[in-house]
Amino acid sequence: MLSLSLAVLSAACLVALASEVFERGFNPAHHSGGASPYFEAPTQFDISPETPAGCIVDQAAYIVRHASRYPEPSSFVGWQALYNKLQNATYTANGNLAFLPSWVPPVDDLAHEPLFLSATGAREAFQLGTELRKRYNLTKGGENFTVWSAGQQRCIDTATHWLRGYLGQGDYLASPNENRGTIVFMPDSVNTTGADSLTASAACPLYTGEGGTNASNAFRATYQNGIAKRINQFLDGLELNATDVGVMQDLCGYSFHINGDRRFCDIFQEHEWIDYEYASDLNYYYGSGPGNPLAGTTAFPWLQAITQLLVAGPNRTVGNGSFVPPPLIMGFTHDNDLPPVVAALGIMNSSSDEDVYPLSLTTPDSRRTFRSSYLVSFLGNIALERLSCETPMESTVKHVAGQLNPVPGTGRNARKFVRVRANDAPVPIPACMSGPGSSCPLADFEAYVKGPQATLLGDFVQKCGLANVTNDPDTVDFYVNINSKAANTSIFMLGVDPQVGEPNPFGS
Protein backbone atom coordinates (compact mmCIF):
# COMPACT_ATOMS: atom_id res chain seq x y z
CA MET A 1 0.00 0.00 0.00
CA LEU A 2 1.01 3.64 -0.30
CA SER A 3 3.00 5.54 2.27
CA LEU A 4 1.00 8.11 4.20
CA SER A 5 2.54 11.10 2.38
CA LEU A 6 1.92 9.60 -1.04
CA ALA A 7 -1.62 8.66 -0.05
CA VAL A 8 -2.34 12.22 1.06
CA LEU A 9 -0.95 13.59 -2.21
CA SER A 10 -2.97 11.11 -4.26
CA ALA A 11 -6.09 11.91 -2.25
CA ALA A 12 -5.67 15.59 -3.06
CA CYS A 13 -5.42 14.70 -6.76
CA LEU A 14 -8.60 12.63 -6.52
CA VAL A 15 -10.49 15.53 -4.93
CA ALA A 16 -9.22 17.88 -7.64
CA LEU A 17 -10.31 15.51 -10.42
CA ALA A 18 -13.84 15.15 -9.04
CA SER A 19 -14.18 18.89 -8.45
CA GLU A 20 -12.98 19.58 -11.99
CA VAL A 21 -15.68 17.24 -13.37
CA PHE A 22 -18.46 19.14 -11.61
CA GLU A 23 -16.96 22.53 -12.49
CA ARG A 24 -17.05 21.58 -16.17
CA GLY A 25 -20.78 21.01 -15.78
CA PHE A 26 -20.64 17.22 -16.04
CA ASN A 27 -23.34 15.80 -13.77
CA PRO A 28 -22.90 12.07 -13.03
CA ALA A 29 -26.56 11.83 -12.01
CA HIS A 30 -27.42 12.66 -15.64
CA HIS A 31 -25.30 9.73 -16.85
CA SER A 32 -26.58 7.03 -14.50
CA GLY A 33 -29.04 5.27 -16.79
CA GLY A 34 -31.94 3.76 -14.92
CA ALA A 35 -30.59 5.07 -11.60
CA SER A 36 -30.80 8.70 -12.71
CA PRO A 37 -33.29 10.97 -10.93
CA TYR A 38 -35.60 12.64 -13.45
CA PHE A 39 -34.21 15.45 -15.58
CA GLU A 40 -35.29 16.94 -18.89
CA ALA A 41 -33.14 15.43 -21.62
CA PRO A 42 -31.12 17.81 -23.80
CA THR A 43 -32.07 17.95 -27.43
CA GLN A 44 -29.98 15.66 -29.63
CA PHE A 45 -31.62 16.63 -32.90
CA ASP A 46 -31.49 20.43 -32.80
CA ILE A 47 -35.29 20.63 -32.40
CA SER A 48 -36.82 23.14 -29.99
CA PRO A 49 -39.01 21.59 -27.28
CA GLU A 50 -41.41 24.51 -27.65
CA THR A 51 -44.66 23.90 -29.55
CA PRO A 52 -44.04 25.10 -33.13
CA ALA A 53 -45.40 28.52 -34.05
CA GLY A 54 -48.97 28.39 -35.29
CA CYS A 55 -49.61 25.05 -33.56
CA ILE A 56 -51.33 23.88 -30.42
CA VAL A 57 -51.31 20.44 -28.83
CA ASP A 58 -54.93 19.28 -28.76
CA GLN A 59 -54.22 15.71 -27.60
CA ALA A 60 -51.27 13.83 -26.12
CA ALA A 61 -50.47 10.33 -24.86
CA TYR A 62 -47.73 9.59 -22.33
CA ILE A 63 -46.20 6.35 -21.11
CA VAL A 64 -44.22 7.03 -17.93
CA ARG A 65 -41.84 5.10 -15.72
CA HIS A 66 -42.63 5.35 -12.01
CA ALA A 67 -40.81 8.10 -10.13
CA SER A 68 -37.65 7.76 -8.00
CA ARG A 69 -37.78 4.87 -5.56
CA TYR A 70 -35.70 3.07 -3.01
CA PRO A 71 -33.74 0.06 -4.31
CA GLU A 72 -35.23 -3.25 -5.26
CA PRO A 73 -34.54 -5.88 -2.59
CA SER A 74 -32.00 -7.64 -4.85
CA SER A 75 -30.07 -4.38 -5.30
CA PHE A 76 -30.29 -3.60 -1.59
CA VAL A 77 -28.51 -6.88 -0.89
CA GLY A 78 -25.53 -5.40 -2.75
CA TRP A 79 -25.70 -2.22 -0.67
CA GLN A 80 -25.71 -4.26 2.52
CA ALA A 81 -22.80 -6.41 1.31
CA LEU A 82 -20.76 -3.26 0.61
CA TYR A 83 -21.63 -1.88 4.05
CA ASN A 84 -20.61 -5.11 5.75
CA LYS A 85 -17.33 -5.20 3.82
CA LEU A 86 -16.53 -1.64 4.85
CA GLN A 87 -17.42 -2.21 8.50
CA ASN A 88 -15.75 -5.59 8.93
CA ALA A 89 -12.29 -4.38 7.90
CA THR A 90 -9.63 -2.21 9.54
CA TYR A 91 -8.28 0.29 7.04
CA THR A 92 -7.44 3.90 6.29
CA ALA A 93 -9.42 5.81 3.65
CA ASN A 94 -8.25 9.03 1.98
CA GLY A 95 -9.61 11.82 -0.19
CA ASN A 96 -13.07 11.33 -1.64
CA LEU A 97 -13.17 7.86 -0.11
CA ALA A 98 -12.67 9.17 3.43
CA PHE A 99 -16.42 8.98 4.11
CA LEU A 100 -16.59 5.21 3.58
CA PRO A 101 -15.86 4.19 7.22
CA SER A 102 -18.91 6.19 8.38
CA TRP A 103 -21.23 5.48 5.45
CA VAL A 104 -24.49 3.62 6.02
CA PRO A 105 -26.98 2.58 3.29
CA PRO A 106 -29.64 5.31 2.80
CA VAL A 107 -32.52 3.05 3.85
CA ASP A 108 -33.76 3.50 7.42
CA ASP A 109 -37.04 1.57 7.26
CA LEU A 110 -36.10 -1.91 6.11
CA ALA A 111 -39.65 -3.27 6.32
CA HIS A 112 -41.11 -0.66 4.01
CA GLU A 113 -38.74 1.39 1.90
CA PRO A 114 -37.25 -1.02 -0.66
CA LEU A 115 -39.29 -0.75 -3.89
CA PHE A 116 -41.39 2.20 -2.67
CA LEU A 117 -41.22 5.82 -3.82
CA SER A 118 -38.81 8.18 -2.11
CA ALA A 119 -39.81 11.71 -1.16
CA THR A 120 -38.01 12.87 -4.31
CA GLY A 121 -40.15 10.47 -6.34
CA ALA A 122 -43.34 11.93 -4.90
CA ARG A 123 -42.12 15.42 -5.78
CA GLU A 124 -41.08 14.38 -9.30
CA ALA A 125 -44.53 12.95 -10.03
CA PHE A 126 -46.32 15.98 -8.57
CA GLN A 127 -44.14 18.35 -10.57
CA LEU A 128 -44.77 16.48 -13.80
CA GLY A 129 -48.49 16.82 -13.12
CA THR A 130 -48.18 20.58 -12.64
CA GLU A 131 -45.94 20.92 -15.71
CA LEU A 132 -48.36 19.08 -18.01
CA ARG A 133 -51.26 21.12 -16.63
CA LYS A 134 -49.39 24.29 -17.60
CA ARG A 135 -48.08 22.91 -20.88
CA TYR A 136 -51.36 21.68 -22.34
CA ASN A 137 -54.31 23.05 -20.33
CA LEU A 138 -56.47 20.41 -22.02
CA THR A 139 -59.02 19.90 -19.23
CA LYS A 140 -60.74 22.07 -16.67
CA GLY A 141 -59.28 22.11 -13.19
CA GLY A 142 -60.91 19.82 -10.67
CA GLU A 143 -62.99 17.76 -13.05
CA ASN A 144 -62.73 13.99 -12.79
CA PHE A 145 -59.60 12.88 -14.62
CA THR A 146 -58.70 9.26 -15.41
CA VAL A 147 -55.19 7.79 -15.69
CA TRP A 148 -53.91 4.23 -16.16
CA SER A 149 -51.27 2.36 -14.19
CA ALA A 150 -49.49 -0.94 -13.84
CA GLY A 151 -50.42 -2.57 -10.57
CA GLN A 152 -47.27 -2.32 -8.43
CA GLN A 153 -47.56 0.19 -5.63
CA ARG A 154 -44.78 2.45 -6.87
CA CYS A 155 -46.64 2.88 -10.17
CA ILE A 156 -49.99 3.56 -8.49
CA ASP A 157 -48.32 6.00 -6.07
CA THR A 158 -46.69 7.81 -8.99
CA ALA A 159 -50.08 8.11 -10.67
CA THR A 160 -51.59 9.41 -7.43
CA HIS A 161 -48.96 12.13 -6.92
CA TRP A 162 -49.16 13.04 -10.60
CA LEU A 163 -52.93 13.48 -10.32
CA ARG A 164 -52.59 15.74 -7.29
CA GLY A 165 -50.15 17.93 -9.19
CA TYR A 166 -52.29 17.98 -12.32
CA LEU A 167 -55.63 18.67 -10.64
CA GLY A 168 -54.40 21.22 -8.10
CA GLN A 169 -57.74 22.61 -6.94
CA GLY A 170 -57.15 24.02 -3.48
CA ASP A 171 -57.02 22.15 -0.18
CA TYR A 172 -56.51 18.41 -0.63
CA LEU A 173 -57.13 17.59 3.03
CA ALA A 174 -60.15 19.67 3.97
CA SER A 175 -61.87 19.50 0.57
CA PRO A 176 -60.92 16.17 -1.07
CA ASN A 177 -63.86 16.34 -3.48
CA GLU A 178 -62.34 19.42 -5.09
CA ASN A 179 -59.71 17.18 -6.68
CA ARG A 180 -61.29 14.24 -8.43
CA GLY A 181 -59.25 11.57 -10.12
CA THR A 182 -59.58 7.92 -11.14
CA ILE A 183 -56.71 5.46 -11.45
CA VAL A 184 -57.40 2.41 -13.59
CA PHE A 185 -54.82 -0.22 -12.72
CA MET A 186 -54.17 -3.72 -13.89
CA PRO A 187 -52.05 -6.74 -12.93
CA ASP A 188 -48.35 -6.00 -13.11
CA SER A 189 -45.95 -8.21 -15.08
CA VAL A 190 -48.22 -11.23 -15.42
CA ASN A 191 -48.58 -13.63 -18.35
CA THR A 192 -52.39 -13.75 -18.35
CA THR A 193 -53.32 -10.52 -20.13
CA GLY A 194 -51.65 -10.91 -23.51
CA ALA A 195 -50.99 -7.59 -25.19
CA ASP A 196 -53.73 -5.82 -23.18
CA SER A 197 -51.36 -4.49 -20.55
CA LEU A 198 -48.88 -1.75 -19.70
CA THR A 199 -46.33 -4.54 -19.07
CA ALA A 200 -47.01 -6.61 -22.18
CA SER A 201 -43.51 -8.08 -22.51
CA ALA A 202 -44.25 -10.21 -19.44
CA ALA A 203 -47.08 -11.89 -21.38
CA CYS A 204 -44.86 -12.79 -24.34
CA PRO A 205 -43.33 -16.25 -23.65
CA LEU A 206 -40.62 -15.91 -26.30
CA TYR A 207 -39.48 -12.51 -25.04
CA THR A 208 -36.28 -12.36 -23.00
CA GLY A 209 -34.02 -9.54 -21.91
CA GLU A 210 -30.94 -11.75 -21.50
CA GLY A 211 -29.25 -10.16 -24.51
CA GLY A 212 -29.08 -6.85 -22.67
CA THR A 213 -27.86 -8.40 -19.43
CA ASN A 214 -25.11 -10.32 -21.23
CA ALA A 215 -23.96 -7.34 -23.29
CA SER A 216 -23.93 -5.07 -20.25
CA ASN A 217 -22.06 -7.51 -18.04
CA ALA A 218 -19.44 -8.15 -20.71
CA PHE A 219 -18.84 -4.43 -21.15
CA ARG A 220 -18.61 -3.81 -17.39
CA ALA A 221 -15.88 -6.45 -17.23
CA THR A 222 -13.74 -4.22 -19.50
CA TYR A 223 -13.56 -1.27 -17.11
CA GLN A 224 -14.65 -2.07 -13.54
CA ASN A 225 -11.42 -3.82 -12.53
CA GLY A 226 -9.44 -0.82 -13.76
CA ILE A 227 -11.57 1.53 -11.65
CA ALA A 228 -11.11 -0.71 -8.61
CA LYS A 229 -7.33 -0.65 -9.09
CA ARG A 230 -7.31 3.15 -9.32
CA ILE A 231 -9.44 3.89 -6.26
CA ASN A 232 -7.71 1.21 -4.17
CA GLN A 233 -4.71 3.57 -4.16
CA PHE A 234 -6.67 5.63 -1.65
CA LEU A 235 -7.31 2.75 0.74
CA ASP A 236 -4.78 1.15 3.08
CA GLY A 237 -5.91 -2.20 4.49
CA LEU A 238 -8.93 -2.76 2.22
CA GLU A 239 -9.31 -3.68 -1.45
CA LEU A 240 -12.47 -3.01 -3.43
CA ASN A 241 -13.35 -5.17 -6.44
CA ALA A 242 -15.41 -4.87 -9.62
CA THR A 243 -18.65 -5.79 -7.82
CA ASP A 244 -18.05 -3.05 -5.26
CA VAL A 245 -17.45 -0.53 -8.05
CA GLY A 246 -20.80 -1.41 -9.65
CA VAL A 247 -22.65 -0.94 -6.37
CA MET A 248 -20.88 2.35 -5.64
CA GLN A 249 -21.73 3.80 -9.05
CA ASP A 250 -25.37 2.76 -8.60
CA LEU A 251 -25.35 4.56 -5.25
CA CYS A 252 -24.52 7.87 -6.92
CA GLY A 253 -27.99 8.32 -8.44
CA TYR A 254 -29.85 6.58 -5.63
CA SER A 255 -28.16 8.43 -2.76
CA PHE A 256 -28.54 11.73 -4.56
CA HIS A 257 -32.32 11.39 -4.92
CA ILE A 258 -32.92 9.74 -1.53
CA ASN A 259 -31.05 12.18 0.69
CA GLY A 260 -29.02 14.53 -1.50
CA ASP A 261 -25.74 12.69 -0.89
CA ARG A 262 -23.46 12.93 -3.92
CA ARG A 263 -20.28 11.54 -2.32
CA PHE A 264 -20.37 8.38 -4.44
CA CYS A 265 -20.71 10.60 -7.51
CA ASP A 266 -17.49 12.39 -6.54
CA ILE A 267 -15.39 9.21 -6.46
CA PHE A 268 -15.39 8.50 -10.19
CA GLN A 269 -13.96 10.34 -13.16
CA GLU A 270 -15.90 11.54 -16.19
CA HIS A 271 -14.75 8.76 -18.53
CA GLU A 272 -15.72 6.22 -15.88
CA TRP A 273 -19.26 7.63 -15.82
CA ILE A 274 -19.38 7.46 -19.62
CA ASP A 275 -18.54 3.76 -19.42
CA TYR A 276 -21.09 3.20 -16.65
CA GLU A 277 -23.79 4.91 -18.70
CA TYR A 278 -22.89 2.89 -21.78
CA ALA A 279 -23.24 -0.36 -19.84
CA SER A 280 -26.76 0.78 -19.01
CA ASP A 281 -27.38 1.72 -22.66
CA LEU A 282 -26.38 -1.79 -23.76
CA ASN A 283 -28.63 -3.33 -21.11
CA TYR A 284 -31.70 -1.48 -22.35
CA TYR A 285 -30.89 -1.41 -26.07
CA TYR A 286 -30.33 -5.17 -26.37
CA GLY A 287 -32.59 -6.15 -23.48
CA SER A 288 -35.84 -4.25 -24.08
CA GLY A 289 -35.07 -1.81 -26.88
CA PRO A 290 -34.35 -1.78 -30.62
CA GLY A 291 -31.61 -4.41 -30.28
CA ASN A 292 -34.15 -7.01 -29.13
CA PRO A 293 -36.16 -8.30 -32.14
CA LEU A 294 -39.28 -8.88 -30.00
CA ALA A 295 -39.23 -5.62 -28.04
CA GLY A 296 -41.11 -3.59 -30.63
CA THR A 297 -43.63 -6.39 -31.06
CA THR A 298 -44.59 -6.25 -27.38
CA ALA A 299 -45.23 -2.47 -27.55
CA PHE A 300 -46.87 -2.39 -30.97
CA PRO A 301 -50.43 -3.06 -29.67
CA TRP A 302 -50.04 -0.04 -27.37
CA LEU A 303 -48.84 2.06 -30.32
CA GLN A 304 -51.79 0.89 -32.43
CA ALA A 305 -54.27 1.83 -29.70
CA ILE A 306 -52.77 5.30 -29.24
CA THR A 307 -52.62 5.86 -32.99
CA GLN A 308 -56.33 5.09 -33.30
CA LEU A 309 -57.11 7.63 -30.58
CA LEU A 310 -54.91 10.31 -32.17
CA VAL A 311 -56.60 9.78 -35.53
CA ALA A 312 -60.05 9.96 -33.95
CA GLY A 313 -59.08 13.15 -32.14
CA PRO A 314 -59.61 14.40 -28.59
CA ASN A 315 -62.70 13.52 -26.57
CA ARG A 316 -63.67 10.58 -28.78
CA THR A 317 -63.61 6.85 -28.29
CA VAL A 318 -62.81 4.24 -30.95
CA GLY A 319 -64.11 0.87 -32.05
CA ASN A 320 -66.60 -0.53 -29.57
CA GLY A 321 -65.26 1.62 -26.76
CA SER A 322 -67.55 2.33 -23.83
CA PHE A 323 -65.37 5.13 -22.41
CA VAL A 324 -64.03 8.40 -23.81
CA PRO A 325 -60.47 8.91 -22.54
CA PRO A 326 -59.34 12.43 -21.67
CA PRO A 327 -57.34 14.38 -24.26
CA LEU A 328 -54.25 13.83 -22.11
CA ILE A 329 -53.78 10.06 -21.87
CA MET A 330 -51.42 8.98 -19.07
CA GLY A 331 -50.05 5.46 -18.47
CA PHE A 332 -47.63 4.67 -15.62
CA THR A 333 -45.40 1.61 -15.75
CA HIS A 334 -41.75 0.47 -15.41
CA ASP A 335 -38.37 1.22 -16.99
CA ASN A 336 -38.26 -1.85 -19.23
CA ASP A 337 -41.62 -0.93 -20.76
CA LEU A 338 -40.35 2.30 -22.37
CA PRO A 339 -37.58 1.03 -24.72
CA PRO A 340 -40.11 -1.29 -26.47
CA VAL A 341 -42.09 1.85 -27.41
CA VAL A 342 -38.92 3.33 -28.91
CA ALA A 343 -38.50 0.12 -30.93
CA ALA A 344 -42.15 0.15 -32.03
CA LEU A 345 -41.85 3.78 -33.19
CA GLY A 346 -38.60 3.09 -35.07
CA ILE A 347 -36.68 5.89 -33.35
CA MET A 348 -33.25 6.18 -31.67
CA ASN A 349 -31.93 3.39 -33.89
CA SER A 350 -30.69 5.07 -37.06
CA SER A 351 -28.08 7.62 -38.03
CA SER A 352 -26.81 9.38 -41.12
CA ASP A 353 -23.37 8.25 -39.97
CA GLU A 354 -22.30 4.68 -40.58
CA ASP A 355 -21.53 2.13 -37.87
CA VAL A 356 -23.52 3.82 -35.09
CA TYR A 357 -26.24 1.15 -34.92
CA PRO A 358 -26.59 -1.49 -33.77
CA LEU A 359 -24.69 -0.29 -30.70
CA SER A 360 -21.13 -1.57 -30.44
CA LEU A 361 -20.63 -4.18 -27.74
CA THR A 362 -17.18 -2.83 -26.94
CA THR A 363 -16.90 0.90 -27.69
CA PRO A 364 -19.23 3.80 -26.77
CA ASP A 365 -20.03 5.98 -29.78
CA SER A 366 -20.73 9.60 -28.85
CA ARG A 367 -22.93 9.94 -31.98
CA ARG A 368 -25.57 7.54 -30.63
CA THR A 369 -28.96 8.96 -29.69
CA PHE A 370 -30.16 5.92 -27.75
CA ARG A 371 -29.09 6.94 -24.25
CA SER A 372 -30.74 5.25 -21.31
CA SER A 373 -30.26 8.28 -19.05
CA TYR A 374 -32.41 10.32 -21.45
CA LEU A 375 -35.15 7.70 -21.63
CA VAL A 376 -35.49 5.45 -18.58
CA SER A 377 -34.42 7.73 -15.76
CA PHE A 378 -36.86 7.64 -12.89
CA LEU A 379 -40.10 9.18 -14.22
CA GLY A 380 -38.68 8.75 -17.74
CA ASN A 381 -41.42 9.21 -20.29
CA ILE A 382 -42.32 9.04 -23.96
CA ALA A 383 -45.01 11.35 -25.31
CA LEU A 384 -46.93 11.37 -28.58
CA GLU A 385 -48.38 14.83 -29.13
CA ARG A 386 -51.06 15.62 -31.69
CA LEU A 387 -50.33 19.05 -33.14
CA SER A 388 -53.04 21.16 -34.73
CA CYS A 389 -51.42 23.81 -36.93
CA GLU A 390 -52.35 26.87 -39.00
CA THR A 391 -50.55 29.97 -40.23
CA PRO A 392 -48.64 31.49 -37.30
CA MET A 393 -50.08 34.62 -35.71
CA GLU A 394 -48.89 37.93 -37.11
CA SER A 395 -46.90 40.31 -34.95
CA THR A 396 -49.73 42.82 -35.18
CA VAL A 397 -53.28 41.57 -34.54
CA LYS A 398 -56.49 43.58 -34.61
CA HIS A 399 -59.17 42.89 -32.00
CA VAL A 400 -62.88 43.73 -32.35
CA ALA A 401 -64.75 44.47 -29.13
CA GLY A 402 -66.69 41.49 -27.87
CA GLN A 403 -65.09 39.03 -30.28
CA LEU A 404 -62.47 36.61 -28.97
CA ASN A 405 -59.71 36.15 -31.51
CA PRO A 406 -59.14 32.48 -32.38
CA VAL A 407 -55.77 30.97 -31.55
CA PRO A 408 -53.91 29.58 -34.58
CA GLY A 409 -54.39 25.82 -34.60
CA THR A 410 -58.00 25.90 -33.41
CA GLY A 411 -59.59 26.49 -36.82
CA ARG A 412 -61.63 23.91 -38.71
CA ASN A 413 -59.01 23.67 -41.46
CA ALA A 414 -56.03 23.20 -39.15
CA ARG A 415 -53.65 20.44 -40.24
CA LYS A 416 -52.75 17.64 -37.83
CA PHE A 417 -49.32 16.25 -37.02
CA VAL A 418 -47.71 13.88 -34.50
CA ARG A 419 -44.58 14.74 -32.56
CA VAL A 420 -42.65 12.37 -30.27
CA ARG A 421 -40.88 13.50 -27.11
CA ALA A 422 -38.63 11.52 -24.75
CA ASN A 423 -38.01 13.08 -21.33
CA ASP A 424 -39.30 16.33 -22.86
CA ALA A 425 -36.85 16.42 -25.80
CA PRO A 426 -38.39 16.08 -29.30
CA VAL A 427 -37.30 12.97 -31.19
CA PRO A 428 -38.06 12.76 -34.94
CA ILE A 429 -39.31 9.64 -36.69
CA PRO A 430 -36.64 9.24 -39.40
CA ALA A 431 -39.15 7.99 -41.99
CA CYS A 432 -41.57 10.87 -41.36
CA MET A 433 -40.41 14.33 -40.26
CA SER A 434 -41.79 16.81 -42.79
CA GLY A 435 -44.10 18.68 -40.41
CA PRO A 436 -43.52 21.65 -38.10
CA GLY A 437 -40.73 20.96 -35.63
CA SER A 438 -39.78 17.79 -37.58
CA SER A 439 -43.17 16.29 -36.74
CA CYS A 440 -45.01 13.73 -38.87
CA PRO A 441 -48.29 14.52 -40.67
CA LEU A 442 -51.02 12.58 -38.88
CA ALA A 443 -52.18 10.74 -42.00
CA ASP A 444 -48.60 9.73 -42.76
CA PHE A 445 -48.09 8.65 -39.17
CA GLU A 446 -51.15 6.41 -39.35
CA ALA A 447 -49.91 4.93 -42.63
CA TYR A 448 -46.45 4.39 -41.13
CA VAL A 449 -47.85 2.50 -38.14
CA LYS A 450 -50.31 0.44 -40.18
CA GLY A 451 -47.81 -0.24 -42.96
CA PRO A 452 -44.04 -0.55 -42.44
CA GLN A 453 -44.16 -0.93 -38.67
CA ALA A 454 -46.97 -3.49 -38.73
CA THR A 455 -45.09 -5.50 -41.34
CA LEU A 456 -41.82 -5.25 -39.45
CA LEU A 457 -43.13 -5.99 -35.98
CA GLY A 458 -45.71 -8.57 -36.89
CA ASP A 459 -48.53 -10.03 -34.87
CA PHE A 460 -48.16 -10.17 -31.06
CA VAL A 461 -49.84 -13.55 -30.73
CA GLN A 462 -47.87 -15.17 -33.55
CA LYS A 463 -44.44 -13.73 -32.72
CA CYS A 464 -44.80 -14.42 -29.01
CA GLY A 465 -45.68 -18.06 -29.62
CA LEU A 466 -49.28 -17.76 -28.40
CA ALA A 467 -51.08 -19.03 -31.50
CA ASN A 468 -52.34 -22.11 -29.65
CA VAL A 469 -53.51 -20.17 -26.59
CA THR A 470 -57.28 -19.65 -26.47
CA ASN A 471 -58.55 -16.05 -26.34
CA ASP A 472 -55.14 -14.47 -25.74
CA PRO A 473 -55.67 -10.79 -26.66
CA ASP A 474 -53.40 -9.16 -29.21
CA THR A 475 -54.82 -5.63 -28.88
CA VAL A 476 -55.02 -2.94 -26.19
CA ASP A 477 -58.55 -1.93 -25.21
CA PHE A 478 -58.24 -0.68 -21.62
CA TYR A 479 -58.09 2.98 -22.67
CA VAL A 480 -61.61 2.82 -24.12
CA ASN A 481 -63.07 0.02 -21.97
CA ILE A 482 -62.48 0.81 -18.34
CA ASN A 483 -63.82 -2.54 -17.20
CA SER A 484 -61.58 -4.59 -19.49
CA LYS A 485 -61.86 -8.32 -18.83
CA ALA A 486 -58.72 -9.09 -20.80
CA ALA A 487 -56.65 -6.47 -18.99
CA ASN A 488 -58.30 -7.39 -15.67
CA THR A 489 -58.62 -3.75 -14.65
CA SER A 490 -59.45 -2.40 -11.20
CA ILE A 491 -60.35 1.14 -10.15
CA PHE A 492 -59.06 3.46 -7.44
CA MET A 493 -60.81 6.79 -6.93
CA LEU A 494 -58.81 9.78 -5.73
CA GLY A 495 -60.52 12.68 -4.01
CA VAL A 496 -63.47 10.81 -2.54
CA ASP A 497 -64.24 11.63 1.10
CA PRO A 498 -63.61 8.27 2.83
CA GLN A 499 -66.45 8.96 5.30
CA VAL A 500 -68.95 9.42 2.49
CA GLY A 501 -67.66 7.23 -0.28
CA GLU A 502 -69.07 7.07 -3.77
CA PRO A 503 -70.24 4.27 -6.05
CA ASN A 504 -68.02 3.23 -8.91
CA PRO A 505 -69.13 5.39 -11.87
CA PHE A 506 -67.88 2.79 -14.34
CA GLY A 507 -70.00 -0.06 -12.97
CA SER A 508 -68.93 -3.18 -11.15
Per-residue pLDDT of the chain (508 residues; tens, 9 = 90+): 333 333 333 334 433 333 334 445 899 999 999 999 999 999 999 999 999 999 999 999 999 999 999 999 999 999 999 999 999 999 999 999 999 999 999 998 888 788 899 999 999 999 999 999 999 999 887 677 999 999 999 999 999 999 989 987 766 666 667 778 899 999 998 888 999 999 999 999 999 999 999 999 999 999 999 999 999 999 999 999 999 999 999 999 999 999 999 999 999 999 999 999 999 999 999 999 999 999 999 999 999 999 999 999 999 999 999 999 999 999 999 999 999 999 999 999 999 888 999 999 999 999 999 999 999 999 999 999 999 999 988 888 899 999 999 999 999 999 999 999 999 999 999 999 999 999 999 999 999 999 999 999 989 999 999 988 877 789 999 999 999 999 999 998 876 555 555 555 565 4
Q: What are the backbone angles phi and psi of residue 17, rounded to the nearest 5°? A: -60, -45
- The fold of 32-69+116-203+293-508 is Rossmann fold (3.40.50)
| Nearest CA-CA partner of 489 in 499, 500, 497, 480 | 480
- Decide if 464 contacts 291 (C-beta within 8 A): no
pTM of the model: 0.92
Start and end residues for every CATH 3.40.50.1240 domain found in the chain: 32-69+116-203+293-508
For the chain, the C-alpha Rg in angstroms (whole number) is 24
Task: Please state the length of the chain.
Answer: 508
Query: What is d(CA 454, CA 475) in angstroms, rounded to the nearest whole number?
Result: 13
Compute CA 303 distance to the chain's CA centroid, rounded to the nearest angstrom: 16
- Decide if 41 contacts 268 (C-beta within 8 A): no
Q: What are the backbone angles phi and psi of residue 252, rounded to the nearest 5°? A: -60, -60
- The set of residues, in sequence order, having a beta carbon less than 8 Å from that of 131 and lying 6+ positions away, is none
